Structure 1
Amino acid sequence: MADLGCGTGRFCAAASFLGAYCACIEIDNESITLAKKVFKELGIDADFINADVEYFHSQSKFDTIIENPPFGVKRKGYDLIFLNSALDLSNDVVYSIHKSNEKSEEIIKNIARKKGFSSEVITTNFEIGYYYPWHKNNIHKFLVDIYLFKKIA
């Protein structure tokens, strides 16, 4: 399995504890360095690939891909770049989290369908603490859509 834009590797760590082997793909060197340190401390084995998801290619595809891409607020459409990469790199299943928006949901489902994937979505509340310079509140609450895409046989 692979986590595109893994950050510090939280999804991969959780998947590893459940028995998966994960490739952590991240453009930010500091995040990769921290993830490697934490994984070593926890005794988790994973591959770490320093790459830009937009240009990442692999000789083989992954059965499962998980991602919590940038929501496209600062760079419009960035989440769709991640989604396209995930669908291109997956043999079977993609889990992806996106900021909830009816128009975006229609676009996302159309992309998946064109690439041969079915889609299911649930909407839930999400909280993020002050992290980026453009964040204005200590806790930001908003709705997200969590997608499950399955390759159509």
Structure 2
Amino acid sequence: MVKEDKEKRKQQRKKYYLKHKDYINKQTKKYYLEHKDELKKYAKQYQIDNKEKIKQYHLEHKEDKKQYRLKNKEKIAKQVKQYFLEHKEHLKKCGKKWQLKNKEHIKKHTKNYYINNKDKIAKQGKQHRLDNKEKIDKQIMNYCFL
């Protein structure tokens, strides 16, 4: 009896939502915009208060996530590719902003990368020059006789 009532109420709520979907979404968006700072504060406080609980949850579900990713590898790759195609301009803009904001950080890590991997880089450069000798010689000749 109780289960049937719960199921019935669930169906009624679903019908109501589908009927008034636009209005509900509009009101929800309006509420979030009006109370944005307050909601952010609550979210941060929740994370601080429940740090261990959140960490435990992630540890418990780590294996499940891994299995899901392995099982749905192609589906996820397709979704990621689709996302990048749809949001290409926005991502470029964000990337440029990030690069400008973190110029010093990038320089530091690039320098460290070159220092730590100079043998590997030299080997790759040498191999590239061997593979593309004719093309490089042609470019040099064109540059010299401009």
TM-score, with structure 1 as normaliser: 0.17
Return the structure number with greater helix share.
Answer: 2
Higher relative contact order (CA 8 A, sep 6+): 1
Give the strand-richer structure, 1 or 2: 1
Rg larger in 1 or in 2? Answer: 2
State the TM-score, normalizing by the size of structure 2. Answer: 0.18
